[in-house]
Amino acid sequence: MSKHCDEYLDDPTQPECLRRFLDYQCRPAALKYPTGDAAFDKAIEDRHGLPMWRDPVPTLFADCDGERVRVTMASRFGDVGVTTTLTDEHGYDVRVPVDYLSDFSATAPEPKEIVTVGGIGISVRRKGVREMAKRIEQTTELTTEVEVTYRSVSPFVSMLASLREAGPNRKARRAAEAKARRRA
């Protein structure tokens, strides 16, 4: 059975970044945000029996099933919420026990670079950016006929097409479509 996240707080063998993150996340909301009114904050601290959190909000990154994730929350049920979008501070893709995570860090991994291919920004790791851009460019060279066929078949191509339609030429494209409809 997986350990509850509270069990990691008092375990000195666990990384400091994990313990600080869980300590912050497991506090009541009233203790996370000092009001600036010393008397009120003191009353809240006395009522809950814990000190007010006055340090910067901790962040936590870890490996989950071989993929780098950001831990965004710890629940009272003992699991944590993780997301593969490393820039998201809130929300999660999946909830997992802390046991499933490894290689904890308070700092974000190296930044990704945005490569623009056909008007669509695709983020890739710095290593092999040029090679990746060439491959993406080769795979996205679709004619309109092929693109329409693949739209109904492939969710990925449909997503790429919708991203392209939301691009800078959207107004001109929609105006041309409206004009064509009026003529028909």
pLDDT computed for residue 81 by the predictor: 92
The answer to which of 7-11, 50-54, 149-153, 161-165 has the lowest mean pLDDT is: 149-153
The arrangement of strands across the sheet holding 79-83 comes to 94-97, 79-83, 67-74, 60-64, 101-105
- Between CA 82 and CA 99 the distance in angstroms is 13
End-to-end CA distance of the chain: 66
Q: What is the pLDDT of residues 97-156, one digit of tens each?
A: 988 899 998 888 776 555 555 555 555 554 455 666 666 666 555 444 444 444 454 566
**Mean pLDDT across the chain:** 75
Q: Higher model confidence: residue 173 or residue 16?
A: 16
Query: Rounded to an integer, what is the distance from CA 80 to the centroid of its chain?
Result: 14
pLDDT computed for residue 61 by the predictor: 93
Q: In Å, how far are 32, 61, 69, 107, 164 from 83, measured between CA atoms?
A: 22, 10, 6, 15, 26
How do the domains of the chain map onto residue ranges? 5-105, 113-182
By three-state DSSP, how is residue 75 classified? coil
Look at residue 157 and tell me whether its pLDDT is greater than 60.
no
User: Do 98 and 5 touch, CB atoms closer than 8 A?
Assistant: yes
pLDDT computed for residue 125 by the predictor: 52
If you average pLDDT over residues 26-52, what whole number do you get? 84
**pTM for the structure as a whole:** 0.57
Look at residue 160 and tell me whether its pLDDT is greater than 80.
no
Q: ∠ CA 62-63-68 to the nearest 5 degrees?
A: 85
The candidate with the shortest Cα–Cα distance to 95, out of 108, 109, 107, 83, is 83
pLDDT computed for residue 131 by the predictor: 63
Q: What is the pLDDT of residues 57-85, one digit of tens each?
A: 889 999 988 888 999 998 888 889 999 88
By three-state DSSP, how is residue 113 classified? strand
Type of residue numbered 170: R
